[in-house]
Amino acid sequence: MAATHSEYRGYLRNPVEMEAGQHRFHPVQHSEPTYRPLLFGTLAVMGLLQVASSVAILLHLTGYLQEVDLSTAPHRPIETEPVLNALRDTRKKGRCKTPKESLPSAHLPIRAHQEYSKKGEPKAITIDWDEEHGYRQRMGYQKGKLLVMESGFYYIYAKTCFRYYKYIPEDSSQTGVPPVDVSNTQLIQYVYHESIKQNSKAAVLMKTGSTMRWNNTSYNMYCAQQGRGVRLDEGDTLFVNVSNAWMLDPEGEGTYFGAIKLGN
C-alpha cells in the first residue's frame, strides 16, 4: 500500500511537471501569429506587382510609354513617324501619295488604219504606233521609234498579233481579186536598238516568230511576244519591224510596244 501511495503522489506531481514541460512548446504557439502577417504582406506585395505590370503593359500598348522605350534602347531607334503619316494620309485621301516624278516609261498601241502591201513580201516594215491612245513619260517618239531621254537600265517589251480571213463566195461566177496565198507565211517580229554611241547603227535586240500554214477559207491568228532588259543611253532609239505587216491585228490589245526604266 505504501508503494501504491507513493505512486499516487507521483501521479499527482506529474501534471505539474507536465505543465512545466509544456512551456517548452509555447514559443511555437506564440510564433504562429507572427507568420500570418508576413504571409499576408507577401501576398499583398505580389498583388501590387501584378497590377503594376499589367498597367505598364497596357500603357505600352497604347503608346504612353513610347519615350521610355526609346530611352532604354537608344541604339535601336523606332521610326514611327513615317508609318503614322502614311496612316493619316490613307484615312484622309484613301490612297498613298505618289512621287512627283515617275520613272521614264512608255506604252503605245498600234495605230489603226495603216495601209501595207498585200503582196506577201517577206520584207520587214517598221510599225507605226498610236501616241494619242498611248502613254509616254519622259520618253520621246518619232515615226515609229521610241527615243530614250534618260540613260539607265530598261525593260523593253513588244507584242504583235497577225490574223487573216478571206471569204470566198460559193458562186464562182463572181469576179474579184484572188486571195493571197497564206499556206506558207513567215510572221517574224524584230525589236531594234539604235545606239547613239555607235552612230545610231541599228542592231537586232530581240527576234521571234513562226512560219504558219494557214487556210484561205478559215479564220487564222498568231501572236508573237517578247521582252528583255537592256542598258540604254540618252539619245538611243527603239523600234519594231515585222514581216507581212498587212496581216497585223489593228486592235491595241493585241499589238503594242513599250519600255520602262528599272534603274541606273
Return all residues near 137 (Cβ < 8 A) that are at least 6 apart. 102, 103, 104, 105, 106
Q: What is d(CA 160, CA 252) in angstroms, rounded to the nearest whole number?
A: 9
Entry pTM: 0.58
Name the E strands within the chain.
105-109, 125-126, 135-137, 139-142, 145-148, 152-164, 185-195, 201-212, 220-232, 237-242, 256-263
**How far from the centroid of its chain's Cα atoms is residue 158's Cα?**
23
Which of 12-21, 81-90, 160-169, 212-221 ranks highest by mean pLDDT? 212-221
CATH numbers and ranges of domains, the chain:
2-93 (no CATH), 105-170+181-263 (2.60.120.40)
- End-to-end Cα separation, the chain, in angstroms: 127
CA torsion angle for 141, 145, 148, 152 (degrees, to 10)? 140
Q: What is d(CA 69, CA 20) in angstroms, rounded to the nearest whole number?
A: 65
Number of other residues whose CB lies within 10 A of the CB of residue 240: 29
* Mean pLDDT, rounded, for 139-154: 96
Confidence of residue 89 (pLDDT cuts 50, 70, 90): low
The values of phi and psi at residue 65, to 5°, are: -105, 25
Res. 17: pLDDT tops 70: no
